[in-house]
Structure 1
Amino acid sequence: MAVFITFEGIEGCGKSTQARRLARRLEERGVPTLFTIEPGGTRIGGDIRRILLDARNWDLSPLAELFLYEADRAQHIFEVIDPAREAGQWIVCDRFYDATTVYQGYARGQDPLFVASLNRTATRGLTPDITFLLDCPVGAALARARQREAEVNPAGPSGQDRFEKESEAFHQSVREGYLALARSEGLGGRFRVLDGMFSIERLENEIWSVILPLLPALPSKKPCLFPTS
């Protein structure tokens, strides 16, 4: 049976690292797995991602931003996620609709009922089975994100950092929004909130302890498919 796993958190919380590590670990156990991202999990989505992350687009309206995320998501569901589910693959996704609920709803002030309606339409009602929320203090997370940018682009900023340039108050709103979402699900809900300040190895092991009981007994290894776009 396919399992749909998402990773969420503020910029620099470590979710992308953990999502990729989980996908690789599932592959090693022979689980047919798809790793993907939002925004940008398709060719069309890659073009949308460049618009959304480009710091030159500082004047992008909150409503236009919301529609771009939902357009990316609709294409992602159609082209990547639904086919993977039909094929019985496990899916590990770096961000999904919770990010839109928090960034465009809580932090940008868009009507939460409107955002929820668009999310349902774009996803065709699909909900993750498990969502790992890596919670991290804003100052520490942004410092990590800026260090990562410096390591990837030592010659200077790439320009693909529009959200990292937002104020700490914005990122604090995002963090609080994520925690409110997790609380709304209650105990036994799909959210697993983990301390993003833990070491990479400890986080990986805590995530694996949640996933391990769900693993099927598979006789042989099968490839992990990573998007090429």
Structure 2
Amino acid sequence: MNRGKLITFEGVDGCGKTTQLRLLERILTTRNTSFVSTREPGGTELGKLIRAALLNVSRHKVEPLSELLLYAADRAQHVQEFVLPNLAAGKIVLSDRFYDATTAYQGYGRGFDLALIQKLNRLATSDLKPDLTLLFDIDVSTGIERIARRGGETANNSDEDKANRLDLEPHEFHERVRQGYLELAKQEPNRFRIIPASGSIEAVRPLVMEALQGIL
């Protein structure tokens, strides 16, 4: 059996990556493609507990170093329990964030040493790398506006639709994260596909499908 493919969805908060992942799920379902979807943090039962501790705005402050290590712990569990078994089964794995998020948010955003983060990521993933990373690039101000609208919607929103602790960081933080993502894409152009994501859902969708040609 051929190994499956790992496709990761990345970008600053409010970029629309989760919406596009859900649309892709529908397309793959109609094609009878064998796939699974997951997210970081929160792709396992342990990960759900870590996600609640990391992102819940009503909880106590999470120290930056604790935040970094909790993301690494979530990823280690996620890769061993979920990602690797599904890849071994020949499935396409769609992940809403993966280790690039830690480099962008905790490295470029928080200012942690990038070499340290790279070591943690390699340890947590057992050197697993995505086959393709879709980077949804959007102006930070537009992303923040989307987050504000999202937070004002009904209380029936799912967990990932609600504003979280990282969403509430200042504009400058999100700008550093965006520039970090773009730098990562520059370093690995064969893995990354940059998706201009400022347009409507309908405008972005064909860009996603174009980027996926040759891997699905």
* TM-score bucket of the superposed structures, by smaller chain: over 0.9
1:183 aligns with 2:191: no
SS at match of 2:167: coil
SS at match of 2:214: helix
Q: 2:147 aligns with which of 145, 148, 151?
A: 145
1:100 aligns with 2:98: no
Match of 1:136 in 2: 138
Greater relative contact order, per chain length (Cα 8 Å cut-off, separation 6+) = 1
Match of 1:123 in 2: 125
Percent identical: 44
Give 1:152 deviation, angstroms: 3.8
Residue pair 2:136, 2:194 contacting (<8 A) in 1 also: yes
Of residues 54-63 and 38-47 in structure 1, the stretch that sits farther from structure 2 once superposed is 54-63
Q: Deviations over 1:144-195 (max 9, x none)?
A: 11211221438xxx98621111100000000111011111113xx1100011
Query: In the aligned structure 1, how far is the partner of 2:165 from the partner of 2:18?
Result: 18
Query: In the aligned structure 2, how far is the partner of 1:103 from the partner of 1:58?
Result: 19
Alignment gaps of 5+ in structure 1: 216-229
Equivalent position amino acid for 1:176 in 2: Q
Alignment gaps of 5+ in structure 2: none
State how many pairs are aligned.
211
Equivalent position amino acid for 2:91 in 1: Q
**1:159–1:151 Cα change, 3 Å:** closer
Give 1:80 deviation, angstroms: 0.8
Q: CA RMSD in A?
A: 1.8
Residue pair 2:54, 2:67 contacting (<8 A) in 1 also: yes
Query: In the aligned structure 2, how far is the partner of 1:136 from the partner of 1:111?
Result: 25
State the TM-score, normalized to the length of structure 2. Answer: 0.92
Give 1:57 deviation, angstroms: 4.4
Match of 1:199 in 2: 200
Give every structure 1 segment of 4 or more consecutive aligned residues whose post-TM-superposition deviation is greater than 6 Å: none
SS at match of 2:78: helix
Residue pair 2:137, 2:197 contacting (<8 A) in 1 also: yes
1:87 aligns with 2:96: no
SS at match of 1:151: coil
